[in-house]
Amino acid sequence: MTEPNEDLNGIIYNITTHVSHQVCDLWKSWMLEKHIPDIMGKGCFIKYQFVRIFDTDETEGFTYATQFYANTNSQLKNYINLYAAELRDEALNKWGNKIISFRSTMGIISIG
């Protein structure tokens, strides 16, 4: 992971997931009742938001983003080094090819 080279006001760890129509309602419930609480329970993030992305091709499913907020890059690194692989594997084992995810990290420069 690239180290931030400027003063930031926090870090966002974003997981964007395309979810098949077949499992969408079950997946959303699992995210809200199990997966997000499991991630937040690790103590690395201070808050999250779970959103649906509009203006995407919805032929085969819907797209969502889950954004986890950390105060520092070291908190995010802690999550990635200690917990991310296990939780990612759990999701893949449960949902298989019914979901496709990618991750990105963003530095917060300013909040209005």
In this prediction, residue 18 carries a pLDDT of: 98
In this prediction, residue 7 carries a pLDDT of: 72
Which residue range forms the structural domain that includes residue 94? 11-107
6 assigned to some structural domain: no
61 assigned to some structural domain: yes
| Domain count across the chain | 1
95 assigned to some structural domain: yes
The per-residue pLDDT for range 33-68, each reduced to its tens digit, is: 999 999 999 999 999 999 999 999 999 999 999 999
Cβ-Cβ contacts under 8 Å for 2 (sequence gap 6 or more): none
Query: The domain that contains 99 carries what CATH number?
Result: 3.30.70.100
In this prediction, residue 111 carries a pLDDT of: 86
The pLDDT-based confidence of 6 (bands split at 50, 70, 90) is low
